Amino acid sequence: MRLRLWLQNIKDYGLNISAFGLYIVMQQLVILPLLSKVSNDSDFSEIVFFISIFNIMCIVFGEELGNTRIVRSNVYKRNNLNGDYHVILLTVIVFISSISLIGNYYIGVMWLDIILYVTIIAFGIVRYFSMAYFKLNQRFHHILFMNLSYGVGAIIGLYFVTIYDFYLAPFLFGEIVSGIYVLYTVLNNKVQQLTLAVTTEFQHTMTTYAQLGGVSIIINAIAYLDRIIIYPMLGATAMVVYFSASAMSKMISLVINPISGVILARLTRVGKDKGEEILSGLVKYLFPSLLLFSIGSITVSYFGVKIFYSNYFSDAIVLIIPIGFATALSLVSFLLKPFLVTYYQTKGILMIHVLYAIVFCFSMYFFSAWWGIIGFAWANVLARLTQLGLYFFMVFAGKSREEVEVASV
């Protein structure tokens, strides 16, 4: 029995890693390197800027709604409820679309472009949210096939890049093809009943979602802030140099991020005692993991820039070490986050990331003034170190969700 469970865990982790890895490889090693070679610095910087906004919105609004569903799944199951999530998802997409279209009157982007941006983002949010269905039902192979279909669509889109200079085509066709797969799978396999019902848990779910979304927007805004801030501050060339140095080191997240997702799904099925036992065992290996992640991140970043972004290599080389350290710290935090989300108050997690954001903003301002773009990179290291330290503080000194609930009775 234990062997079967062990093999099943290996299979699930492997499927989730392969699925996430396939998506990252397609985006970071195929689409973006090709676009960097067929477009000028200005066009490529705009592509990177859009992808940064896209990733933030998909993770904050799509993935975190899915994580909320996973975290609260036992409550809905216990009360025999089904609803809320599709209403929230639809509301989010309508809200984002409305704000984007109204805001364009002041921004002045071409209407065709803004419609394309909104369409790609809407499809991306749905794709990220749909992963929660598959995780809850332990059907990780569907996530792999979903991302495989994204890759097929992206390859079709690359044809339009080379023939018509339609730079958004890989992202648009990737989302459309993967969206078709998700819709077919959900309806055909009855993974989840699609309903717009609102239940008695709606308010509690929205509170959890808002708190997790707040944490996520801080994490991801800072993670992609380099691309958003450097562009207006230092120009297009500086931004793409920083992007080329940081993009490859983050490839290691294709291993850790999906593992984090599987851990979160697993924690909903085990008791608190078992979960805390797993957490205590994990903590022992986090510092050795930090060393390995640092070495791996710096190495991957060096060779990645040299091979895939060789035109920026000479300028990016000085950024590789601080970016590698920052990436390693974030990866260790990824491993701890599922336990904090499951067993600790989301309000406390939100406060941690408010402090994390404050440290980053202040250090970014002063370090950049003193050392330019290199200072910006080291500010990210300091902020990530602060985040990990506060994670450990919550694990060892914070009150769990159960303790707070008991105290309030």
pLDDT in tens, 107-120: 777 888 889 999 99
The 10s digit of each residue's pLDDT in 264-275 is 767 766 666 666
- Confidence grade of residue 406 (pLDDT, cut at 50, 70, 90): very low
**What integer pLDDT is reported at residue 288 of this predicted model?**
87
Strand partners, 84: none
Question: Which of 93-107, 308-322, 381-395 has the weakest average pLDDT?
Answer: 308-322
The yes-or-no verdict on residue 222 having pLDDT over 90 is no
Q: 3-class DSSP state for residue 50?
A: helix
Worst-scoring range by mean pLDDT, 15-24, 368-377, 388-397? 15-24
**340 Cβ contact partners less than 8 Å away, ≥ 6 residues apart:** 349, 391, 394, 395
What integer pLDDT is reported at residue 17 of this predicted model?
Answer: 67
Top-confidence residue, 369 or 130: 130
**Which distant-in-sequence residues (6+ apart) come within 8 Å of 332 by Cβ?**
286, 289, 290, 293, 388
**Per DSSP, what are the bridge partners of residue 344?**
400
3-state secondary structure of 291: helix
Phi–psi pair at 400, nearest 5 degrees? -75, 165
Residues found in the chain: 409
Calculate mean pLDDT across residues 123-142. Answer: 85
What is the greatest pairwise CA distance in the chain?
Answer: 66
In the predicted structure, residue 19 carries a pLDDT above the cut 60: yes
How large is the average pLDDT for residues 360-389?
86
Torsion angle (degrees, nearest 10) of CA 58, 187, 190, 339: 0
pLDDT of residue 116: 92
Give the whole-angstrom CA distance, residue 67 versus residue 64. Answer: 5
- Choose from 24-28, 109-113, 379-383 the range with maximum mean pLDDT: 379-383
pLDDT at position 177 is 94
| Span of 6-15, 29-38, 67-76, 120-129 with lowest mean pLDDT | 6-15
Distances in Å between the Cα of 169 and the Cα atoms of 40, 159, 344, 395 are 17, 8, 42, 44
Question: Of the given ranges (116-125, 145-154, 371-380), which has the lowest mean pLDDT?
Answer: 371-380
Helix-helix angle 320-343:253-267, to 10 degrees: 10
Overall average pLDDT of the 159-165 stretch: 85
Q: Which of 165, 278, 260, 270 is closest to 216 using CA atoms?
A: 260
Q: In a 10 Å sphere around its CB, with 0-12 CB exposed, 13-18 middle and 19+ buried, how is residue 139 labelled?
A: middle
Q: Report whether 265 contacts 217 (CB < 8 A).
A: no
Task: Give CA–CA dist 133/8, Å, rounded.
Answer: 18
- Cα separation values, 269 from 135, 137, 263, 397, Å: 12, 11, 10, 25
Predicted confidence band at 178 (pLDDT cuts at 50, 70, 90)? very high
> Does 206 or 340 have the greater pLDDT score?
206
pLDDT at residue 269, rounded to an integer: 67
64 near 216, Cβ under 8 Å? yes
